[in-house]
Amino acid sequence: MASYLPLILRNILRNRRRTGFTMASVAVSICLVGVLFALTRALFFGGEATPGQAKRVVVHHKIALTQDLPAVYEQTIQKIPGVRAVTSLQWFGGTYKDPGDPKNRFAQFAIEPKTLFEVYPEFHISQSQREAFVSQKTACVASRALAEKLGWKPGERITLVGGMLRATLELTLAGIFDPPPSDASPVLYFNRDYLRDSLLPGDPRRDAVQQFYVETDNKDAVSEINRQIDDAFAESSYPTKSEPEEAFMLSFVSFLGNLKLFLAAICGAVTFTLLLITTNMLSMSVRERTREVGILKTLGFSDGEILGMVVGEASLIAVAGGLVGCILAGGLCTAIASAMRSAPGFVSVVRGLSFSPLVAALTVCLALLIGFVSSIAPGLYAARTSIVQTLQYNG
Amino acid sequence: MDIVIETRKLSKDYMRDENPVAALKNVDLQVAGGEFLALMGPSGSGKSTLLHLIAAMDRPTSGEVLVLEQDLRSLNNRQLARWRNAHIGFVFQAFNLIPVLTALENVMLPLKLTGLDAKEQLEHARTGLQLVGLGDRLNHFPRQLSGGQEQRVAIARAIVTDPDFILADEPTGNLDAASANDVLTILAALNNEQGKTILLVTHDPHAAHYAKTTRYLEKGVLLPEGQAPQDWMAAPPPMPTSSATSAVTE
Amino acid sequence: MTVPFSYNIRNLVVRKTTTLMTAMGIALSVAILVASLALVNGLRTVFANTANPLQLLVLRKGSHAELGSTVPTEDFAIVRSKPGIAADRSGQPLTSQELVNVANLPSLDNPKGMNITVRGLSPVGIEMRKVRLVAGRWFQPGQREVVVGEAVAHRYPSARIAHRIRFGKGDWKIVGVMDGGQSALNSEIWGDFNQISAEYNQQDSSSSVLLRATDPVSLDALKHSIEDDPRLNASTITESDYYHGQTASGAPLEFLGILVSVIMAIGSAFATTNIMYAAVARRAKEIGTLKTLGFSDGSILLSFLSESVLLAALAGVLGCLIALPLNWVTTGVGSMVSFSEIAFRFHVSIAALFSGIIFAVVLGAVGGALPARAAAKKEILSALREA
């Protein structure tokens, strides 16, 4: 087959415009499929869990995220073997300055200052700032994105007026931390105890948290730890659900509706269309060269060899187009990921959109498959036409 | 007899694989109204090129083409197209009918460029087809017609605008003898009965019989009247008989 | 002065397979575009239907959603006594204290569980909305009973009438199903205000207050009156604006859909270019003949261009037909405001169909432009000589 490569190549280059446009068509469609594959992977298969994420577990109320859990659960969780650090998370949702300005809206959580950075070792913060955060009750830390957005420097006084929780907090920015580049959301963390003190003694929400973030020793123990946590509270009035962090993030994807179906349908449609288009191109091209096929057969080429050449030509065009499509897809994925870096909420998982080697390989395989399948009909036609028929062909 | 077509020092060069070829060299030709002229010569002699230049399908490298005293060089492409539609009826060797249109529609095609309304177009086309004996094949597609019938449709198409000239480029080249005769008879009739000026390019001496005069081209040069190329002298064509135009269609 | 249109139509028909294959590509791009537009339209319709233009939502100052807002009970009394509020039949002001939270139940689309809005309200709240009971009865005060919207009953297998569902601290019995028309209310679970507030430990406050003004002028006056009142710590938003803002929940899907259809369109345009070039090559002799007959370069260009546009337009119609059945499909999308699912029906509007056809026509024109130009520029003699 390889010896026919020069012949195949010359055929491909014979009508450069048609080959070019066919390849372009393939490239664009493959690019689309590639991006969809990457999206599916990011949304449904966790994309790339960072090593830090792999060891972290999120514990929340079994029924809904918005339901409260007692703060005392922390002590029980701490005692489970394999748990290195636990921090509770209480969502505050206060108003900062004028809430009409979108940049003044950001996530605020009350946490345990001591354990925050143990649970999130990837958060980088200077030692002195970390210590300041731990030692001052009214201290808070902000992510770099938030600090930059609002022009905060350490020492900044930040007032948050509570909504659902009736408290007004006067905080001082003790430090700014750098989360890993894939997570650029603006967020503020402050001290649980300060919130607790600010709420009236009779307020039942004093000891209520929404989540616990647990750092484990190693990722293989995660499912066992999850089971133990949930078992511990299964019978209480506040049952829990513990899951690895990536799974937790992904559960928000269901918010986008029946996305799986949507994506699958589109992938199917695109692949189908591409198949049609490529088969069409090839058929036209083969039909045009019917005469030539006849001559080749007269010279002694067998039906099988003719078929092989047609398939070879199609595969080459498809793979070439596929490779270009992969490059385009990679670029598009990076573009989408960075465009989504500061997107709120659930769409954040798209931040992790990457065109990994696995997805690239899958995409190229699809291209090859399409080239192959689309060449069968025209190839068989060319192989089976009798010599006499081809010589009578008048275009 | 007034001169309706005149070429002066008409020359055409073109490039073939980076080699310049002189297809026509300084051709001076005069055609009178009502003439039926056959242009003959071996392949490559430039006869088709001359025809194309007169039909305004190409532009000369140098020299003039005056048709009905109109200098074709002064017309731009758009004007040439219009002019062609009004004055020329062209018949090709390969018929060149539009495959997806019926015989009637093919004949109506040139009329689309005139100001006639649909009804009149239909009338003219029908008349044209009847004239060439295909009145019963109006709604046939080219693939349903024989070669001879196709060429007759092509002739109907060529005359439907009532052009001043009919230019035919090897019209019988793809036809069998019987069909060829039919076609040539029609052309002769158009010349005799309707006074159409006809230029016929052919390499077939038999076809040339149907014309009234014959001129020869050799290697791009128009030979003087009465003169034929050297190798043609070997077997002089039989003299045209007066009854050529009344050759009956079988 | 133009080449007859039948020339183009018949050429498309004669090459049926090629025409159909290329048309499919364009049709699918159009279908996806129309589907995306239908999705957003459907959402918009649902939200438009939910809102009453004379009704105003009172939330805690700074809150943008009922879910994060608290309005103390004392404030309710203050709001209630303001002038300009419409009254019910017995002369009571149409103001409703409501508590909103979220329940999580397994749905058909999401067996792992999906959020549903739970709303505690009193009879006046029911009266203020366009709902009617289609099965069972309304919940009774003091009972752990709820009424579910029709979409909830259809999409959540455990939420059938006479069954029990679990949220908050325990079980609740479903005693009725309500129909709110094509609105967001169909995706909610309603219960007695006091019961629900107790469940979520919010006995002395509510999430929001809904009130109805007598007329647009009073609506505006009330808005200012409430926001400027120093005793209250409230902000207001009209129901229309509140729900209108939620249509952004469909934005990611709409974005994805349009992106996909545009990319597919580019691919289809390339395919169109390819087949038109092939057509021009195949019909070179015809082009030469037409030009000989006197047709201008411009008319040749127009002819081939209209051929690709016609092909694309037909494909566009096909695409619209493919997308049309979506009009009867119901699905759900999570609202980022209420943190729960809103069920809605795709709404394939005339505007969407129109956009689809225009999209296709543009595609056809763009794809067919270069080949049409090539056809127009062919020299007569070389065209006639092409095999």
Q: What b/e string do you get for A77-101 counting C-beta neighbours within 10 Å, with b at 16 or more? A: beebeebebbbbbbbbbbbbeebee
Query: Which chains does A contact via 3+ CB–CB distances below 8 A?
Result: C
Flag whether residue B113 sits within 8 Å of chain C, measured between CB atoms. yes
Nearest-Cα distance to chain C for A11, in Å, is 16
Answer yes or no: is pLDDT of A279 > 60: yes
* CA-closest candidate to residue C132, choices C176, C174, C178: C178
Answer whether B92 sits within 8 Å of C10, measured CB to CB.
no
Tokens of A129: 């700032």
Q: List the single best residue of A105, A276, A285 to mutate versus C (max C Cβ within 10 A).
A: A276
Answer whether B112 sits within 8 Å of C1, measured CB to CB.
yes
Q: Which region among A175-179, A283-287, A363-367, C362-366 has the lowest average model confidence (pLDDT)? A: A283-287
- The number of C-alpha atoms within 13 Å of C358 and in the hemisphere containing its C-beta is 6
- The residue whose two tokens read 């992790």 is A352
Q: How confident is the model at residue B243 (pLDDT cuts 50, 70, 90)?
A: very low
CB-nearest to C11 from B82, B100, B109 is B100
Tell me which of A206, A238, A270 is where a domain ends. Answer: A238
Other C-beta atoms lying within 10 Å of the C-beta of residue A227: 11
Answer yes or no: is pLDDT of A203 > 50: yes
What's the ipTM?
0.85
Answer whether B109 sits within 8 Å of C293, measured CB to CB.
yes
Q: Give per-residue pLDDT as tens, C94-152.
A: 999 999 888 888 888 777 778 889 999 999 999 999 899 999 999 998 889 999 999 99
* Residues of A with Cβ-Cβ distance to C110 under 8 angstroms: 254
Residues A275 and A193 in one domain: no
Whether A349 is in a domain gets the answer yes
**pLDDT per residue as tens, chain C (387 positions):** 789 999 999 999 998 888 888 899 899 999 999 998 998 888 888 888 888 899 999 988 777 788 777 888 888 989 988 988 998 888 889 999 999 888 888 888 777 778 889 999 999 999 999 899 999 999 998 889 999 999 999 889 888 888 998 887 788 999 999 998 888 899 999 999 999 888 877 777 888 999 999 999 999 999 999 988 888 888 899 998 888 888 777 777 788 888 888 888 888 898 899 889 989 988 999 999 999 999 999 999 999 999 999 999 999 999 999 999 988 888 888 777 777 888 888 899 999 999 999 999 999 999 999 999 999 999 999 999 886
Q: In the prediction, which pLDDT does A160 show? A: 86
Residues A196 and A69 in one domain: yes
Containing structural domain, residue A358: 2-48+256-392
Answer whether B113 sits within 8 Å of C297, measured CB to CB.
no
The C-alpha atoms of residue B126 and residue B229 are separated, in whole angstroms, by 43
Q: In the prediction, which pLDDT does B247 show? A: 40
Whether A244 is in a domain gets the answer no
- The residue whose two tokens read 């479903």 is C174
What is the pTM (predicted TM-score) of this model?
0.79
Q: In the prediction, which pLDDT does C148 show? A: 94
Comparing A276 with B121, the larger pLDDT belongs to B121
* CA-closest candidate to residue C50, choices C272, C342, C369: C342
Q: In the prediction, which pLDDT does A395 show? A: 45
Residues A169 and A218 in one domain: yes
The C-alpha atoms of residue A359 and residue A354 are separated, in whole angstroms, by 9
Q: In the prediction, which pLDDT does B246 show? A: 39
Q: Give per-residue pLDDT as tens, A348-383.
A: 556 667 777 888 888 889 888 888 888 888 888 888
> What total of structural domains would you count in chain A?
2
Q: What is the mean pLDDT of chain A?
A: 80
Beta strands in chain A (DSSP E): 56-61, 69-70, 83-91, 107-111, 139-143, 157-161, 168-177, 187-191, 208-209, 211-216, 240-244
Q: In the prediction, which pLDDT does A266 show? A: 82
Residues A216 and A88 in one domain: yes
Q: List the single best residue of C289, C382, C386 to mutate versus B (max B Cβ within 10 A).
A: C289
- The number of C-alpha atoms within 13 Å of A230 and in the hemisphere containing its C-beta is 18
Residue B78: C-alpha distances to residues B82, B235, C297 (Å): 6, 45, 8
Tell me which of A203, A238, A273 is where a domain ends. Answer: A238
Answer yes or no: is pLDDT of A142 > 60: yes
Answer yes or no: is pLDDT of A201 > 90: no
Q: In the prediction, which pLDDT does A53 show? A: 72
Q: In the prediction, which pLDDT does A340 show? A: 65
Whether A360 is in a domain gets the answer yes
Residues A107 and A152 in one domain: yes
CB-nearest to C21 from A24, A277, A346 is A277
10 Å CB burial of residue C89 (0-12, 13-18, 19+) is: exposed
* Residues of A with Cβ-Cβ distance to C274 under 8 angstroms: 18, 21-22, 25, 281
Q: Is the separation of the CB atoms in A74 and A85 below 8 Å?
A: no
Answer whether C297 sits within 8 Å of B100, measured CB to CB.
no
Answer yes or no: is pLDDT of A330 > 80: yes
Q: What domains, with CATH codes, occur in chain B?
A: 3-246 (3.40.50.300)
Which residues are bridge partners to A83 per DSSP?
A: A216
Flag whether residue B76 sits within 8 Å of chain C, measured between CB atoms. no
Residues A155 and A279 in one domain: no
Mean pLDDT of B230-250: 49
Residues A23 and A83 in one domain: no
Tell me which of A180, A203, A238 is where a domain ends. Answer: A238
Q: Give per-residue pLDDT as tens, A24-67.
A: 888 888 888 888 888 877 777 655 566 667 788 888 877 667 67
Mean pLDDT of A140-153: 86
Q: List the single best residue of C114, C270, C275, C366 to mutate versus A (max A Cβ within 10 A).
A: C270
Q: How confident is the model at residue A19 (pLDDT cuts 50, 70, 90)?
A: confident
Comparing B201 with A371, the larger pLDDT belongs to B201
CB-nearest to B85 from C11, C293, C384 is C293
Residues A44 and A76 in one domain: no
Residues A125 and A150 in one domain: yes
Q: In the prediction, which pLDDT does A100 show? A: 65
Whether A286 is in a domain gets the answer yes
Nearest-Cα distance to chain C for B106, in Å, is 10
Residues A32 and A169 in one domain: no
Residues A208 and A343 in one domain: no
Answer yes or no: is pLDDT of B236 > 80: no
Q: Supply angle C-alpha A308, A312, A315, rounded to 5.
A: 140
Whether A56 is in a domain gets the answer no
Nearest-Cα distance to chain C for A172, in Å, is 22
Whether A251 is in a domain gets the answer no
- The residue whose two tokens read 């036409």 is A385
Rg of chain A on CA atoms, in Å: 30
Query: Which chains does B contact via 3+ CB–CB distances below 8 A?
Result: C
Chains B and A touch each other (3 or more Cβ pairs < 8 A): no
Q: How confident is the model at residue B242 (pLDDT cuts 50, 70, 90)?
A: very low
Q: List the single best residue of C12, C21, C117, C268 to mutate versus A (max A Cβ within 10 A).
A: C21
Give CA C250 to chain center in angstroms. Answer: 7
Say how many residues make up chain C: 387
Flag whether residue B52 sits within 8 Å of chain C, measured between CB atoms. yes
For the sheet containing A139-143, what is the strand order?
A157-161, A168-177, A139-143, A187-191, A107-111, A83-91, A211-216, A56-61, A240-244
Nearest-Cα distance to chain C for B98, in Å, is 6
Q: In the prediction, which pLDDT does A64 show? A: 66
CB-nearest to B98 from C2, C7, C298 is C7
Answer whether C267 sits within 8 Å of A345, measured CB to CB.
no
Tokens of A375: 């060449």
Q: In the prediction, which pLDDT does B248 show? A: 40
**Strand bridging mode B62-67 / B3-16:** antiparallel
Q: Is the separation of the CB atoms in B215 and B40 below 8 Å?
A: yes
Whether A54 is in a domain gets the answer no
Answer yes or no: is pLDDT of A345 > 60: no
Say how many residues make up chain B: 250
The C-alpha atoms of residue C274 and residue A361 are separated, in whole angstroms, by 28
Q: What is the DSSP string of A194-215?
A: HHHHHS-TT-GGGGEESEEEEE
Answer yes or no: is pLDDT of B76 > 60: yes
CB-nearest to C285 from B57, B78, B96 is B96
Comparing A302 with C6, the larger pLDDT belongs to C6
Mean pLDDT of A68-91: 85
Answer yes or no: is pLDDT of B234 > 50: no
Q: How confident is the model at residue B161 (pLDDT cuts 50, 70, 90)?
A: very high
The C-alpha atoms of residue B106 and residue B114 are separated, in whole angstroms, by 15
Q: In the prediction, which pLDDT does A220 show? A: 81
Q: In the prediction, which pLDDT does A151 show? A: 86
Q: In the prediction, which pLDDT does A50 show? A: 67
- Describe chain C by its helix, strand, coil percentages, rounded to 5: 55, 20, 25
Residues A44 and A182 in one domain: no
Pairs across B and C, CB distance < 8 A: 70
Whether A364 is in a domain gets the answer yes
Answer whether A256 sits within 8 Å of C275, measured CB to CB.
no
CB-nearest to C104 from A28, A63, A269 is A63
Q: In the prediction, which pLDDT does A253 show? A: 67
